[in-house]
Structures are given as structure tokens and as C-alpha cells.
Structure 1
């Protein structure tokens, strides 16, 4: 997870291969092929789900701030903004000796931002439908 240094990487390790760090954990859980299934499960929960969840409010907030006339462009801009913020975080970690940079964080953070932006768009869309019905009924 971006904000929590953990013991899975050695300091200053950089991973540019997508999902390479998660393959062992998925294999372990699916094939029941390792001794430390609990460690694999926690790794996936903390790293994958944690990175996604942390960026859901980012995507939602960016969509609210960047709200355009088109809900589709709002979604795209908020997702792109989440990607940009995550990229900035990952690149800044290159300068910190105790931190690691991982492309998976970029992927999962962006996914979280997209989910948050989608939540905003769906909420906005449902709200506009209610406003239209109310205005038309008066």
C-alpha cells in the first residue's frame, strides 16, 4: 500500500512488471500450493484492496471538483487525475531510501479512482433523473 512500508520489498526496489508481485499469492491461494496461505491472503487484502480503497475518495472528490457537462468526461478526467496523483506518489518514492516503487500500486490506485469517479457519476446521474421528474411534475 502506498502509505504503509511493508516487509514485502527490500528498500529501493522498483517493480515495473505488472502483477508480478501478486502472482505468487494468487497461485498460493488458488492451488493451495504454499505453506503461508495466511500471508498470501493478507498480502492481497492489504496491497490490492488497500490501494483500491484508498483512492476511491480521491476519484469521487476529483469528479466532484472536475464535474463537466458530460458525465463521461467527468469520469475520464477524475480517473486520469487519480492516475496522475498515484504516478506522482510512486515517482516521489524513488527519492526515499526506505520506499519502493511498484507499477501495481499505480494500477490499483487508478482502479480505485475510477471506482470513485464512477460512484460520483452514477450518483449524479440518479440525482439528475430525480430533479427532472420533480421539475416536470410541478
Structure 2
């Protein structure tokens, strides 16, 4: 078993980020959004993988039956709300940042939500491979819902800023 703590991951990630972004300060506003997106990504990595424990055993668990984990709403509502809300809230910033920073590529609901779906599947797959956590289809569904919600929030924000710019 190999265990990697978050600070062990965080320090090299920050050094590489600073090195990569060192000459990219063309637009201060955009750089602020890009750096906020990076910090958001570090937060998602922290919540979904750390402490990262890679198990050598072949025992893995994956739930491919939808709504199984959501049954906790009946038995432990506080835990269920935290799980449901946490998964949705964790991916809402992704749905906001992708159209904001991704240019024309992520200006559609389908592409942004699809990216949320693919990222969520990737996270669950890595959780399955490492054996550190249980891979769950409910998480994929809730994360995708969060990305869709984030895209909707982006549209509201975009409409509001556009309306304010048109005022004299």
C-alpha cells in the first residue's frame, strides 16, 4: 500500500503551475479566473483523492446501479444531503468555468455538461483503480447535474453582465 498525502501533491503542483503560467499575464481579469479555476481543480483533487492510498490488492468495489447510494435519504438524511449536495456543488464551478475560460469550445450546454460527465467518469475510474474509494454511478449522475447547474449559473451571470454593459 502506498499513501500520498495532499501536501506532498500540492507543493509540486503549485511549483509546476507557477512555472507554466509565468509568462501568460496578458489580461489580468482572465488570469484571475484561470487561477481560480486552478485552485478549484486542486480542491476537487483534494476532495476526491486525498489522502491517496493505492492498494495492491485486487479487491475493488464499483456500484453501477443508479440511485443505490441515494437510498440513504430514507435512513440517514443528513449524510445523504451532504453527499448529494456535495457532489452537485463540487461540479457546479466546472460548469461555470468551462464556458467562461474555454472559449467557443464550451459555449453549449451539451459540451459543458458532457465534459462534466467525462471528468466525473474519469475520477470514478481512478478511484476504482486505486482502490482507495468506491466508484459509484450516483456520483457520476450528481456531478454531471452539478456541471449542468454551473452552466446555467454561467448563463445567468453572462446575461447579467451583458445587461449591465448595455446600460448608459
Fold shared by both chains (TM-score > 0.5): yes
Does 2:63 align with 1:15? yes
User: What pairs up with 1:1-138 in 2 under 5 angstroms?
Assistant: 3=48, 12-23=60-71, 25-28=72-75, 40-68=76-104, 73=108, 75-134=109-168
What is aligned with 1:34? Answer: none
Q: Is the 8 A contact 2:95 2:147 kept in 1?
A: yes
- Relative to the length of structure 2, the TM-score reads 0.59
1:70 to partner: Cα distance: 9.5
For the aligned residue pairs, the C-alpha RMSD in angstroms reads 2.6
**Where do 4+ consecutive residues of structure 1 move more than 3 Å?**
67-71
In structure 2, list runs of 5 or more residues that go unmatched: 1-43, 51-58
Distance 2:126 2:79 in 1: 23
Distance 2:164 2:81 in 1: 37
Higher relative contact order (CA closer than 8 Å, sequence separation 6+): 1
Q: Is the 8 A contact 1:63 1:78 kept in 2?
A: yes
Distance 1:105 1:90 in 2: 8
In structure 1, list runs of 5 or more residues that go unmatched: 6-10, 29-39
